[in-house]
Amino acid sequence: MIHLNITGHEVEKLEDPFGLLSGDRYEFFLEIDVEVEDELYSEKGVGLKVIFVSDNDLDKISSYYFYERGSEKVLDFSLEEDEEELVLSYCRQHREV
């Protein structure tokens, strides 16, 4: 289990120039503090890219991936259910750009 400690973020509202998608989409780059003993740890730091969708009363994570900051290398890890709920809650609270 990855212990998520979100220390900061950048967010951008994504535009749908053709109006094909319903709801609003936001791209989050979350800064994650990872303990040295954790298998996800990287000296460069770890981030989590999240596409968050808010459509009427339904909020969800459309996609996400972990990456090594600096190199932008994608890391092959997944969120557990409780961690995904934590990220979803964080995105709900910080979606306004």
Distances (CA, A) of 70 to 2, 13, 43, 91: 21, 23, 10, 23
In a domain, 65, yes or no: yes
User: Quick check: is 1 in a domain?
Assistant: no
Q: Is the entire prediction scored with pTM above 0.95?
A: no
Listed in order, strand segments (DSSP E) in the chain are 6-14, 24-32, 46-55, 58-68, 74-75
pLDDT per position as a tens digit, 46-89: 999 999 999 988 999 999 999 999 999 999 999 989 999 999 99
Which range of residues forms the domain containing residue 87?
6-94
Structural domain includes residue 16 = yes
* Total domain count, the chain: 1
